[in-house]
Chain A
Amino acid sequence: MNTKNYIKQLKQHLSALDTTKSNEIIKEIESYIQESNANYETLVEKFGDPIELASNYLEDMSLNEPKNNSFWKSTIKITTIVASTILAIILITSYIVYEVTKDSFDYSKYDATTITSKVNDLWIDLDGITEIRTEQAEVVFYWGENEKLKYNCEGMDYTQTGSVFTIKQAHCFVILPKQTTNIISFQTDVILIAPNYNVNLDFRQSHTRIAEMGNNYNYNISEKQSKVENFNSKQSNITINAKVFQSKVKHYKY
Chain B
Amino acid sequence: MKDEYKKWLAQYRKGYIELCTLVTLKTNGSMHGLALIHFFENMELMVNEGTLYPLLNRMETNGWLSSSWNIPKLKGHPKREYEISKKGEIILPSLLESYELHHKSLTKIKESTK
Contact = CB atoms under 8 A, between A and B. Distances in A.
Nearest to B14: A60
A208 to B, nearest CB: 63
Contacts of B33: 28, 32
Interface string B35-79: 000000000000011110111011001100000010000000111
A27 B70 CA distance: 12
For the complex, would chain B's binding face be called helix, strand, loop or mixed by DSSP majority?
Answer: helix
A103 to B, nearest CB: 57
Contacts of B54: 53, 56-57, 59-60
B34 interface: yes
A215 B30 CA distance: 82
Given A47-B53, A64-B62, A35 B34 contact: yes
B50 A52 contact: yes
Interface string A184-199: 0000000000000000
B50 A36 contact: no
Best-surrounded residue of B32, B50, B61, B80 (most CB of chain A within 10 A): B50
B49 A32 contact: yes
A92 B54 CA distance: 51
Nearest to A25: B57
A205 to B, nearest CB: 65
Interface in A23-58: 24-25, 27-29, 31-32, 34-36, 46-48, 52-53, 56-57
A154 interface: no
Contacts of A32: 33-34, 49, 53
Nearest to B69: A27
B34 A61 contact: no
Contacts of B61: 60-61, 64-65
Nearest to B34: A35
18 contacts: A21-B57, A28-B33, A28-B80, A31-B77, A32-B34, A35-B32, A35-B77, A35-B79, A46-B50, A47-B49, A47-B50, A48-B50, A57-B54, A57-B57, A59-B54, A60-B54, A60-B55, A60-B57
Interface of A: 21, 24-25, 27-29, 31-32, 34-36, 46-48, 52-53, 56-57, 59-61, 63-65
Given A57-B54, A61-B58, 13 more contacts: A21-B57, A25-B53, A25-B57, A28-B33, A28-B53, A35-B32, A35-B34, A46-B49, A47-B50, A57-B53, A60-B61, A61-B61, A64-B61
Q: Which 8 A-B pairs have the closest CB atoms?
A: A60-B58, A47-B50, A56-B54, A48-B50, A46-B49, A34-B77, A64-B61, A57-B54
